Structure formats: structure tokens, C-alpha cells
Amino acid sequence: MKELVKNRSFKGLMGIQTIEQIGDSLTLMALFAWVMAMPGDYTAQNMSILIFWVSLPIILIGPFSGVFIDRFKRKTLLLAATAAKGSFIFFIWRLAGNYDNIPLLYAFVFMKSFATQFFIPAKSAFVPTIVKDEKKLMIANSIAATFMVITQILTYAAAGILITRYGVESVILTAAILYMPATVMIMLLKAEETALKTKKRMPSPKQVLFELWDGLKFLFKDSKITFVTRRVFVVTVAVTVFYIALTGNYLKDILENTGMDNEEVEALGFVMAAVGLGLIAGVLMVERLLKKVKDISLIRTIFPFVGLLVIGLYFFPNFYFLLVCALAGGASAVMLFGIAETTVQKNTPVNMRGRIFASYYVFRNSGPAAATGIAGFLLLFTGEKEMVFAAGMALVIYGAVNFMTKNSGKGGK
């Protein structure tokens, strides 16, 4: 821990991550509020469309980003991605005041997500460069997650109040401005990336496809990486279906059933803050749990645990119980994602980390895209409340399958 505290590059990266997390969280909450304020009674459908445009670059661009990340300096890519994200959020701000601009606004949402597909895997691949001791990687990832979730708690809790008081447009503009200091901080970041000096030339399309295929083969060749990747994909699908249902009409129903008159976006901010608190709790618990339970067994337990809580919300639509679910869900998520990311880091060679992380993030983040199609299909036959029940049952059933196939993912701790 002391070595990481003294590591100026690691501290700088955490500062950059924190600023960008504030910007990303403000933008996301503002876009949710923008959708929830749309005229008509199609909030769940509109939310599915927004999440689709956020998720589409993950499928189209994500696999190829890793090839460039392995070929160029990660610091250069972090700089370009951060500047691009700030610019696209600025254009979103310019368009958010008029619902006639919906198609163009979604185009910039797409482009902002496009830039993120380079930032996230580049940051993950950059961590082992500045934290050279492999034994410190889990601690470094936990610290990064802690900084991220503390930022999320404060930002999500404040975002609902800020949006209610100052409006969607002001919050989006604030988010765009935050990327300016983040860009400067990346410029000042110092790190030696000697392993990448031989790969400065732009790759040909054939080389891109070859290196991408090479990364995908490695991803599915390692049994532990394959195990965690599949489980992460399933949980993101179920959670996104739940979230679409919640931000449709079900959150309003929960508030009414609890006897609360809060604005929906304000209540959503408190829910997201509870998720953040759960993330911190998960970070604090995961190391102790892994001393007593194998990582694979912990992953298997998460599914039925979270699924039963979601089913409980179907039968007891109470806002305070929703906060409990959010807290437990956040703790479970950070443990699952932390174990998965550390597994990928420890089981990949340095010259392939970029493309393998890109492939991993494609499967992790394509879950929301798949969920939008599932949610749209379910809405043809049922309502938001029934979608909540379906998401919970999916987690419980998949959890049961996990316990019945205990040989998969063996080799875990």
C-alpha cells in the first residue's frame, strides 16, 4: 500500500480517473433525466434506445481498439480519448435543449461512447505499466475501484439534486468542462512504456483483423478468463433489463407505494448513490472473503443472492428496500468485476493486454446492448414490474446452473 501511495504516476492516474468519473456520471444522469422528461408514456422504450446508442460502439469498435492500444503508447491514447470525450459531451450540451435534435444528439452519444472504448481498456492496460509489482495489482485495482465508487456516490447523489435545481443542460456543460483539467493531467503523467516502442506504425486492416483474432483466441483459450467473462456478460444483461424497467414506470410506482413525493430523477440519484456505497463495501469485503472462499465459488454465489433480492422487490415495491437491493447489488458487482479484471491482468502477456482487455470489455459491455433488445421484446407482452421479476429469475436460474457445472472455471483460487 505504501509503495502505491508514493507512486506519483499511479496517484496521477487515479486523479484523472476521478475527474473523468465525475464527468461521465454527470453526463449519464443528465441523459437519463433527459429521457425521463420526454413527452409521452414510452420512458422504458426511450431508455432502451439511449442505452442502445451508448452500447453500440462497444460491439462495433471495442474489439479493434485493443489492437491500437497494443501498438501505440497508452498515454497517447488516454490523452486523445479524454479530449474527444469532452468535445462530444460539449456537442451533446448544445443539442439537449431541443427534442427535435434527438437523432443528432444520439449520434454524439454514440461518438462519446466510441471514445470511451479506447480510454477504458487503455487505462486498464496502463496500470501494470506503472504498478510493476504483480502482487500489488489486486490492491491497485481495489484502490482504483474505491476512488471510482466514492466519486460515484458523491456525483450520483448530487446529480439528481443538481438536475432538479439547475436543469439537464447546465449539468451536461459542467461535465464537458471537467475534461479540460483531465486532459492536462494526462499530459503531465510520467510513465515508461518501453515494451511498445517497436509498434508505432499504423496497422493495416489485415493486421488489425489478425491481431484481433489472436486476442480473441487467447481470451477463450484460458479457462479462467472464459469463465469470468461469461458470468460478467450475463449479469450485465440482467441488471440492464432491471434498470430499464426501473427507470420506466416502476420507480414511480415504488415511490407512490412508499408514500414519497420525490422527483424520480432525484430518487434515482439516491439509488445510484446506494449502489456506490455497495461498491465501497464490496471493495472492503472482497479481500477478506477471498481468504476464506475461492474466487470461483464467490462468483457462483453472487447470482442467486442478487436474483432473490430483485424478486423480493417485485413482491415488496418499497423505496427503502430498493436502496438495500442497490447496496447489495453494488457490493456484488465490484467483487465480480474486480475478480474478473484481476484474472485478465494476471493471465495475459504484456504485449497482448490491450487487445485482450478490449475483447473482455466487448463481452462485458455488450450486455447492455443485448439487454435493450430483450427489454424491447418483453415490453411487447408485459409491463415494467414483470420485467423486474424476469431479471431476478434469470439471475437465480443462471446461479443454479453455475452450481450444477462446478467443473467450469477450475483453476480458480
**Mind listing the pLDDT tens digit of every residue in the chain (413 residues)?**
566 666 777 888 888 989 998 999 899 889 988 988 887 777 788 888 898 898 888 777 766 666 677 777 778 888 999 999 999 999 999 999 888 888 999 999 999 988 888 887 778 777 777 776 666 676 777 677 667 767 877 887 788 888 888 899 999 999 999 999 999 998 888 766 654 444 555 566 676 677 667 777 777 777 778 888 888 888 889 988 998 888 878 898 999 999 988 888 888 888 888 887 887 788 778 778 888 888 788 888 888 899 999 999 999 999 999 999 999 988 888 788 878 878 887 777 766 776 677 677 777 777 887 888 888 888 888 888 999 999 999 999 988 887 777 655 554 44
Q: How far apart are CA 31 and CA 28, in angstroms?
A: 5
Residue 24 to residue 156: CA distance in whole angstroms: 10
- Burial of 226: CB neighbours in 10 Å, binned 0-12, 13-18, 19+: middle
Q: Report if residue 277 sits inside a domain.
A: yes
What does the radius of gyration of the chain's CA atoms come to, in whole angstroms? 21
DSSP conformation class of 380: T
Can you point out the beta strands (E) in 82-224?
none
Q: Are 179 and 88 in contact (CB under 8 A)?
A: no
The pLDDT of residue 369 = 78
φ, ψ of residue 96 to 5 degrees: the values are -70, -15
| Prediction pTM value | 0.70
Residue 198's pLDDT is what? 46
pLDDT score at 101: 85
80/126 Cα distance (integer angstroms): 15
**pLDDT of res. 411:** 45
DSSP secondary structure letters along 187-241: HH-----GGGTT--SPPPHHHHHHHHHHHHHHHHHSHHHHHHHHHHHHHHHHHHH
CATH number reported for the structural domain that contains residue 356 in this entry: 1.20.1250.20
Specify if 198 maps to a domain: no
Per-residue exposure over 279-316, b if at least 16 CB sit within 10 Å of its own CB, e if not:
bbbbbeebeeebeeeebbbbbbbbbbbbbebbbebbee
- Three-state DSSP class for 141? helix
The CA distance from 7 to 244, in Å, is: 41
Is 2 a domain residue?
no
pLDDT at res. 30:
92
CA distance 190 to 380: 53
Give pLDDT, residue 197: 46
Residue type, 280: I
Total count of domains within the chain: 1
Tell me if 1 is assigned to some domain: no
Distance between CA atoms of residues 252 and 190, nearest Å: 48
pLDDT of residue 298: 84
Residue 120 domain flag? yes
CA atoms within 13 A on the CB side of 283: 19
Q: How far is CA 235 from CA 3, 76, 185, in A?
A: 34, 33, 34
**CB under 8 Å to 395, separation ≥6 — which residues?**
235, 238, 303, 304, 306, 307, 310
**What pLDDT is stored for residue 218 in this prediction?**
77
386: in domain: yes
Which residue has cell 429469475?
Answer: 393
Helix H or strand E segment including 35: helix 8-36
Please, are residues 300 and 399 in contact by the beta-carbon 8 Å criterion?
A: yes
pLDDT of the residue at 107: 94
Confirm whether 410 is domain-assigned. Answer: no
Q: What angle do CA 38, 251, 361 make, to 5 degrees?
A: 80
- Please say whether the beta carbons of 91 and 235 come within 8 A: no
Q: Cα(170)–Cα(403) distance, rounded to whole angstroms?
A: 48
Helix or strand or coil: residue 411? coil
Range of the domain at 145: 10-187+203-404
Residue type, 365: N
CA 384 → CA 141, 244, 292, 405, distances in Å?
A: 35, 8, 39, 32
Classify residue 193: in a domain, yes or no.
Answer: no
Q: What does the angle CA 72 – CA 73 – CA 74 come to, to the nearest 5 degrees?
A: 110
